[in-house]
Amino acid sequence: MALAVVLFRTLGRGTDDRDPGGASAGHAGSMLSSLFLLVFAIAIVVPWTSADAARQNTYMETQALVETYWAAAPLPVPDADQLREGLREYARYVVDDEWPLMAAGRLGPEGTDRLESLRAYVAELPVTTDEARDAKSTVLDRMADLFAARRQRAADAGTAPPPGVLLLTVVTGVLVIVFPFLAGARPRGFALIPVTAMAVLLGVGVYLAWNIAHPFSGGLAVRPDAFVSALHEFQRIPEGR
């Protein structure tokens, strides 16, 4: 811009533009609006996509949890009952204790310890029949899927928009609001109504972008509905023999 100003002054081209509605102000205003819309779209779409993926991943995790619960049926009765009780306790722990922690971007360490204890318990089970041996192998496979899904949930809890996007959304929003004044316009009377409405709506938009930035908090927060459904499904699964 500085080079263009110097060249045009040197060559004597163009005319002075002091009009708030002139070509300079109009071009700058439209570009600022476009930049704000671009950054605002990123600030909305990225968290929305992350929240949707996190929601789907929680259902995949509970599916692995339910499959593990089903696979425990052929195990000997005391062992199957203990394993199933451990799975129920794990699901209740996730809903009651761990889910609030995920709003801060982390999982509770006790959840991993619970699963590790259950996997070690299954791995050490003495099995004497082919059916029980196959059931033990299946349970360990399903628990591997459960661990993988839990790691994915930990990654989802730590997701955030690209660095600087929210800050740039605020900066461009403020520039869009104050630009008419910087360009020299001085709205009076009824002209203040659309300017005020624009400022309010931009403020609401920026607040929404901040509000949905994390998949486990805010307006798009993923709820523990999948784990609650799994707890209800556990009650419908017949006991082992």
15 vs 2, residue with greater confidence: 2
The predicted structure's pLDDT at residue 233: 93
Token pair for residue 6? 């110097």
Residue pLDDT, tens place only, 146-199: 999 999 999 999 888 887 888 999 999 999 888 888 877 787 888 788 888 989
- Going by C-alpha positions, the residue among 45, 227, 40, 58 that lies closest to residue 157 is 58
The predicted structure's pLDDT at residue 189: 81
Average pLDDT over residues 43-49: 90
Q: Residue 10 — pLDDT band, cuts 50, 70, 90?
A: confident
The string of DSSP codes covering 46-71 is HHHHHHHHHHHHHHHHHHHHHHHHHH
C-beta pairs of 16-23 under 8 Å, 24+ apart in sequence: 18/184, 19/184, 20/180, 20/183, 20/184, 20/185, 21/185
Q: Residue 118 — pLDDT band, cuts 50, 70, 90?
A: very high
The predicted structure's pLDDT at residue 17: 61
Least confident of 51-55, 91-95, 132-136: 132-136
Q: Residue 22 — pLDDT band, cuts 50, 70, 90?
A: low
* Highest mean pLDDT: which range of 19-28, 139-148, 162-171: 139-148
Query: What integer best gives the mean pLDDT of the chain?
Result: 87
Buried b (16+ CB within 10 A) or exposed e, 62-91: bbbbbbbbbbbbbbbeebbebbbebbbebb
22 vs 87, residue with greater confidence: 87
Size of the chain in residues? 241
The predicted structure's pLDDT at residue 87: 94
Question: pTM to 2 decimals?
Answer: 0.79
- Going by C-alpha positions, the residue among 102, 193, 111 that lies closest to residue 146 is 111
Q: Residue 14 — pLDDT band, cuts 50, 70, 90?
A: low
- Going by C-alpha positions, the residue among 150, 155, 152, 126 that lies closest to residue 68 is 150
Q: Residue 84 — pLDDT band, cuts 50, 70, 90?
A: very high
pLDDT at 200 over 80: yes
The predicted structure's pLDDT at residue 7: 77
